[in-house]
Amino acid sequence: MLDAELARHLATRAGELLLGLRTELGFTDPGRLRDEGDRRSHEYLMAQLAAWRPDDSVLSEEALGARDADEAAERLGAERIWIVDPLDGTREYAEPGRTDWAVHVALWTTAAASTARRRRRTSGSSKSDQGRLAAGAIALPAQGSVLATDSAPQSPPEQTAHGAQVRIAVSRSRPPEFVARVAEELGAVPVPMGSAGAKIAAVISGEVDAYLHAGGQYEWDSAAPVAVALAQGLHASRLDGSPLIYNQADPRLPDLLVCRSRLARPLLAAVERELLSTSQAG
């Protein structure tokens, strides 16, 4: 099975496992449902990756020491790292009726990119000498959807006409204040959503036009969704426009912008003005 096919397969099966667990446990004890969801999905993905790709390393949110730089030595020297979030949007997963949670499976590698892959790369993507995202899949089990690099079309849906009001996905629980001010400056509409994967998937599907985030995330929150977004020709970068770089000793990757390419320049400029204004005011 090719890497992209494996990413899709594992995200899909882990999503099915999580749907089954919702049915098995119900929603009367959200804490137990969240804990069991994280644990069972992580154990499934780790076992499957050990079976399918025994020579590869894995960075999973639920692994012991995942956030510890001292534990990173082995994966930092590896050529191929699977970056997985067994359950992105744990809070939403334990709320009945919510569909904005996801499973992320991505492959990061230092191996040379193919010519075709290089052609797909857009501004803000990882540089080849720092490794790259080679495959990825986002499963949205409660929406019956899987987005993956092995079937990403080259032209993402464009549901907002030029000149129409832009829609920006933001965190439903912790929307950064500056995003509201950026949206106001651009005449855009903030659209609250759950998990990072669900928000980036909404950009990919055309439900919204951009996703802005600041204030804390880790590599597993964005690796798979960004892999799919880049394969679609979308823009993905840090909020200062620099590349998103994965497999670092410290896995924190605290801010990002994913959007349609035509919106990258005005959004990055608005973010820069807002952050400069905030800095001067402080």
Q: What is the mean pLDDT of residues 25-39?
A: 97
Residue ranges in 167-218 assigned as alpha helix (H): 177-186, 196-205
Q: Is the pLDDT of residue 115 over 60?
A: no
Residue 151: per-residue pLDDT:
77
Cα-only R_g, the chain: 18
> Residue 63: its pLDDT value, please?
82
Sorted by sequence, the CB contacts under 8 Å of residue 32 that are 6+ apart come out as: 25
CB-facing half-sphere around the CA of 28: CA atoms within 13 A: 4
pLDDT of residue 124: 45
Asked whether the predicted pLDDT for residue 57 surpasses 60, the reply is: yes
Collapse the DSSP code of 103 into the 3-class scheme (helix H, G, I; strand E, B; otherwise coil) and give the result. Answer: strand
Enumerate residues 6+ apart whose C-beta is below 8 A from 149: 4, 7, 135, 136, 137, 227, 228, 231
Instruction: Express each pLDDT in 43-56 by its tens digit.
Output: 999 999 999 999 99
Strands, E assignment, the chain? 57-60, 80-88, 102-109, 132-140, 145-148, 167-171, 189-193, 210-213, 235-237, 256-259
User: Of the given ranges (46-55, 96-105, 180-189, 250-259), which has the lowest mean pLDDT?
Assistant: 180-189
Verdict on whether the full-model pTM lies above 0.85:
yes
Closest CA to 88 of 46, 148, 142, 51: 142
More confident residue, 118 or 83: 83
Residue 162: the pLDDT is 56
Greatest CA separation for the chain: 54
* 152 has a pLDDT exceeding 60: no
Do the beta carbons of residue 226 and residue 85 sit within 8 Å?
no
| C-alpha to C-alpha distance for 218 and 2, rounded to whole angstroms | 26
Higher per-residue pLDDT: 175 or 101:
101
Nearest to 246 by CA among 61, 107, 152: 107
Question: The tokens of 271 are what?
Answer: 């973010």
Q: pLDDT by residue (tens digit) across 136-151? A: 999 999 999 999 998 7
Q: Which of 57-66, 116-125, 270-279 has the lowest mean pLDDT?
A: 116-125
pLDDT score of 35 more than 60: yes
User: Terminal CA-to-CA distance of the chain, rounded, Å?
Assistant: 53
pLDDT at residue 209, rounded to an integer: 94
Q: What is the pLDDT of residue 30?
A: 96
Over residues 100-112, the mean pLDDT reads 93
**Residue in the structure block whose two tokens are 């000498």:** 129
Q: What residues have CB less than 8 Å from 115, skipping those under 6 apart?
A: none
For tokens 């780790």, name the residue.
46
**Residue 129 pLDDT:** 56
Q: Higher-confidence residue: 110 or 159? A: 110
Residue 127: the pLDDT is 44
